[in-house]
Chains A and B, each alone.
Chain A
């Protein structure tokens, strides 16, 4: 039984027809052509499917789309200019194949919102639920610290 849901997506009021069993990632891809959030491990462990729901990061592959009714959804595609986090990832080379990158960027923004000057331990724990098989981890840690410095200057 499909039903129509209404929510805000990257700042815009939208609607979509969804079946109860469809995940947020599926609906974002099918109905809105947004592919930055991707299902990879399918178990909420890798972070490739990261989406923000009411400002908090969730695993989109485990989030039923129908529960997004009335909520504020944000994806990696939100925003016109590259922010400090995205610039930092480019500069330090904190990406290789790029499949996990959107998830890392979104989680890093959350991390820096909560901890503007994180130490190594805080970074590793906060991002422990984001996997990178290319193992760009050292460069990612550098990117987080660079973004933190840039944000503090602004």
Chain B
């Protein structure tokens, strides 16, 4: 393998360096836990609940246990020998490692068959039987607010989050968390408004379907545990497994190579606690590798209902907004409460509105759990508020972009929480969208049965806060550099970005920097790779660590009375008598933050904002209702692009994924909570034939002054505006307004009839 010359004066920031691991990926040699095999390893296949809600009366494993080649069949009874209280979760400790007493959704893990031959385990799973006393179930998020079907007998908030403490022990409710924000006096403002508009929007449950399905492997001794896992949050895995076992953290090692996709699915605890317990029970390495189908029963995206009401003044200014959002969290909370709260406070959208009321509810239902999925609740909110914005604009006879311009939230103005906007190029994004869409020109709406339309939408997201990232940068005696950080590269190019940042500080070519993958024995704490936080937080930590290493090298030069430009090898030769040794710099970054008060208000809600807009041109076949997107434009504020090429691909990749959620994807359940389409044959994700002919991606000129070299995150930004832009364009084309995702041809046709 060729390496670029190490030291360089060429700036590394702003270089479109090809992903450092490209050779490994094009030759099929990249390491994924999916490929991991260990000597003596047992494969686990999960036996799952077939009812949506029920008390477990019996689980019969004898027949499965008797199959030749089956090592053991494990239920929660055995799990509790190792972990007496086996409940986990990032916000609530509500999810059992294997079902105890009750099952709360179809597909919930009840038992595991272990065998050294995965085919044997698979066959034996069919022989496990269970009997349930079925309980009434609830599936709809609004219904869950008042339903008599209660999913959890009592709420179990994790002690680590102070703002959830008040929920402990609450019973007889499906509301896991409710977030409220009040600013000004919305009631009065509505009364005085010239016009009041109210609409209701809905989104559906979908799944990330990373092509490497969730997978974890655990191997153990009596006093140590190594978990190889496809995880975006190795530090959390270690902390949580340590808590469950009652072990010190340094006895647990979590290793993460490359992820074959993540998108938020591979977060917190998924299979890690289960394989750990299984390994401790059997004293053998244990691997559980989900099939594509099983992923649908493991973690999904929140379906939602959003009632949005706005009061508009005579001159087209939004004076008041009321947002009521119900989030369908499924059977276990996972990170749903965070979505409800941290995305909840942006529900009014990127608009300057004086009087705001937000009520955001996280609901338990008897569906597979919902958690983090690229956008983290923002796409659901933008779907509603940008459809609402266009509907108001049309009603008022104002051009949609002009209406937005009148009401846009600009730098220096307070957002709904009261936090003053800084480095959020919302206006620039809107302006660029207008230009790229050639919005001011009249466009051809089509004659005949094919009608054409265009639409735009703009959204924003507050980066989750407060979160911590730590990094270490090691300079070897030959001057080469190693970066240690627990950020997981799932294809977003984080390895490359960190190498560019360290390289910039140390005047090294990014290609010459080695980035060590997450290994909690080696790489320091990171909150997690999620919510587009890594470039900003870990980037800052890596920058600080590299600067610290540089400072130490300069100190050594000074101590050893060497010139300021003395090459690194000579420093070590002088210090140690040979070219050997290291200088290790460390960096730790946590932004400032202020918790919201009782009204949900704070002047420091987030360290940075993401801003993304999309413009769409499309055709509607009025005979069939089929929609064809011909052009997709994505504009974003990503601060200073660290790697412009990767930024472009992140915008486009996110937008295409959101296209799938807009037009094709939906988890379809029957009345008994059974999933009818848990496979890629029946759950259709975008392929090459679904791509719009023209896709344009642009980052506006902007700077995140608190970000490393002006940069900030971009992984989710492309998801924000796609769905409402398409709905707005359909309305433009044929006057049909759809308020529920996905946008099916049949629904368009129905409304055209």
Which residues from chain A sit less than 8 Å from chain B, CB to CB? 19, 21-22, 29-30, 34-38, 40-43, 45-46, 48, 75-77, 82, 86, 89-91, 93, 95-102, 105, 120, 123-125, 127-141
Contacts of B689 in A (CB 8 A): 124-125, 128
Q: A93-B646, A135-B657 are in contact. Are A36 and B688 (CB under 8 A)?
A: no
B28 touches A102 (CB 8 A): yes
Q: A130-B688, A134-B491, A135-B686 are in contact. Are A77 and B681 (CB under 8 A)?
A: no
A141 touches B688 (CB 8 A): yes
0/1 interface trace, chain B 10-22, chain A, CB 8 Å (1 if under): 0000000011011
Which residues from chain B sit less than 8 Å from chain A, CB to CB? 18-19, 21-30, 32, 34-35, 37, 119, 208-213, 258-263, 291-293, 490-493, 645-646, 649, 652-657, 679-681, 685-689, 691, 693, 695
Secondary structure at chain B's binding surface: helix, strand, loop or mixed? loop
Alpha-carbon distance A43/B293, docked complex (angstroms): 11
Ranked nearest first, the 6 interchain pairs of A and B with the lowest CB-CB distance are: A36-B28, A97-B491, A98-B25, A96-B491, A99-B260, A135-B656
B26 touches A105 (CB 8 A): yes
B491 touches A98 (CB 8 A): yes
B263 touches A95 (CB 8 A): no
Alpha-carbon distance A36/B27, docked complex (angstroms): 7
Q: Of all chain A residues, which has the CB nearest B293?
A: A42
Q: How many A-B residue pairs have CB under 8 A?
A: 161
A127 touches B26 (CB 8 A): no
Given contacts A38-B32, A76-B28, A137-B688, could you give 7 more A-B pairs where the C-beta distance is less than 8 Å?
A46-B211, A97-B261, A98-B25, A98-B30, A101-B28, A120-B693, A128-B689
Alpha-carbon distance A21/B213, docked complex (angstroms): 22
A65 to chain B, nearest CB (A): 13
A91 to chain B, nearest CB (A): 7
Q: Of all chain A residues, which has the CB nearest B652?
A: A138
Contacts of B490 in A (CB 8 A): 97
Q: A38-B34, A135-B656 are in contact. Are A127 and B211 (CB under 8 A)?
A: no
A97 touches B260 (CB 8 A): yes
B21 touches A45 (CB 8 A): no
Q: Of all chain A residues, which has the CB nearest B36?
A: A35
A37 touches B28 (CB 8 A): yes
B19 touches A95 (CB 8 A): yes
B258 touches A97 (CB 8 A): yes
Alpha-carbon distance A45/B209, docked complex (angstroms): 13
Contacts of A41 in B (CB 8 A): 211, 292, 679-681
B738 to chain A, nearest CB (A): 23
A82 touches B680 (CB 8 A): no
Q: Of all chain A residues, which has the CB nearest B696?
A: A138
Contact of A90 among B23, B292, B646 (CB under 8 A): B23
Q: Of all chain A residues, which has the CB nearest B210?
A: A133
B527 to chain A, nearest CB (A): 21
Alpha-carbon distance A50/B21, docked complex (angstroms): 21
Alpha-carbon distance A74/B174, docked complex (angstroms): 54
B680 touches A134 (CB 8 A): no
Considering residues A22, A90, A120, A141, which has the most beta carbons from chain B within 10 angstroms of its beta carbon?
Answer: A90
A89 touches B26 (CB 8 A): yes
Contacts of B32 in A (CB 8 A): 35, 38, 99
Contacts of B263 in A (CB 8 A): 133
27 pairs from A and B in contact (CB 8 Å cutoff): A19-B119, A35-B29, A36-B28, A38-B34, A40-B211, A40-B212, A41-B681, A42-B292, A76-B27, A86-B26, A95-B19, A95-B26, A96-B493, A96-B649, A97-B210, A97-B260, A97-B490, A98-B258, A98-B260, A99-B211, A101-B25, A123-B688, A128-B688, A133-B209, A135-B657, A136-B653, A138-B652
